[in-house]
Amino acid sequence: MIPLQDTIPRRRSPFVTWIIIFINLLFFMVEITLPEPALERLIFYLGIVPARYTHPAWPSEGLSYWPFLTNMFLHGGWLHFIGNMWTLWIFGDNVEDRLGHVRYAIFYLVCGVAASLTHVAFNAHSTIPAIGASGAIAGVMGAYFVMFPQSRIITLIPVFFLPWLIEVPAVVFLGFWFLSQLFSGTFSIMAPAVGGGIAWWAHIGGFVVGAVIGPLVKRSARHYRRHYPDEWHPVRHLYRI
């Protein structure tokens, strides 16, 4: 399922979401210009390597914790980058609208760090770098799941190479996504990958943290008045295909 848009209109411009996407784009442009050996070194030093923080044989001198931030601005290819930024674009604007610009920026980084810590906890002995914004974006999705249960997601489902558009309740779409991550993460513990893959537990950790702290740091109702009349409902003003 490919999400195309949601049905909750934003009240103001999502400046922080734009900035995050732009920073990710800058990092990615640097990545694709580097020769392979330099790119591998960059990913190794700026990505999350769990054994770096857990293995007693790993040198502790000069140990840096910056990768807990820098890893969320690196990506492993075009599909990885575009998929993450597209998902952030769909869900980030409404969460930013509800939290406010500054709180949203802090919230995003906290979710990213929490996702990295979860990945380290469940892959303590891994020497494979983990990179990507999906842990932080999972936090945004978790907050969206809790704060906008009335929303619907316009979703593209390819059926025999034909586009099929359906309207899925956000709680169903995001709930199914989370359960798929949880199932895959549990399976990864029983059959760990040896050559990398998807950091399922980073997604799970980010989503849970976002769902928990998002509602706690949202702006009060008096600072977040509805931009539209009460009788206006986004689902009623939607072409259903």
User: Where is pLDDT greater, at 222 or 103?
Assistant: 103
pLDDT at res. 194: 54
Residue with more model confidence, 31 or 165 = 31
Architecture of domain 2-237: Up-down Bundle (1.20)
Please tell me the distance from the alpha carbon of residue 90 to that of residue 83, in angstroms, as a whole number: 11
Q: For residue 49, what is the DSSP state? A: -
Average pLDDT, whole number, for the chain? 86
Q: What is the mean pLDDT of residues 184-189?
A: 84
What is the band of 195 on the pLDDT scale with cuts at 50, 70, 90? low
Question: CA torsion sign, 224 to 146 to 119 to 198?
Answer: negative
Predicted confidence band of residue 12 (pLDDT cuts 50, 70, 90):
confident
Residue 179 burial (10 A CB sphere; 0-12, 13-18, 19+): exposed
CA-nearest of 135, 99, 110, 140 to 6 is 140
Query: Is the confidence at residue 64, as pLDDT, over 50?
Result: yes
Task: Calculate the CA dihedral of residues 93, 147, 209, 176 and round it to 10 degrees.
Answer: -90
At residue 221, the pLDDT reads 61
pLDDT given for residue 15 in this prediction: 95
78 vs 188, residue with greater confidence: 78
Q: Which of 57-61, 151-155, 181-185 shows the lowest per-residue confidence on average (mean pLDDT)?
A: 57-61
d(CA 138, CA 198): 13
Q: Which of 27-31, 147-151, 206-210 comes out lowest in average pLDDT?
A: 147-151
CA angle 84, 145, 68 (to 5 degrees): 45
Number of neighbours of residue 3 by Cβ within 10 angstroms: 20
> Could you give the angle at which helices 134-147 and 101-122 cross, rounded to 10 degrees?
120
- On the question of pLDDT at 136 being above 50, the answer is yes
Comparing 10 with 14, the larger pLDDT belongs to: 14
What is the Cβ-side half-sphere exposure of residue 119, based on CA atoms within 13 angstroms? 36
Q: Is the pLDDT of residue 228 over 60?
A: no
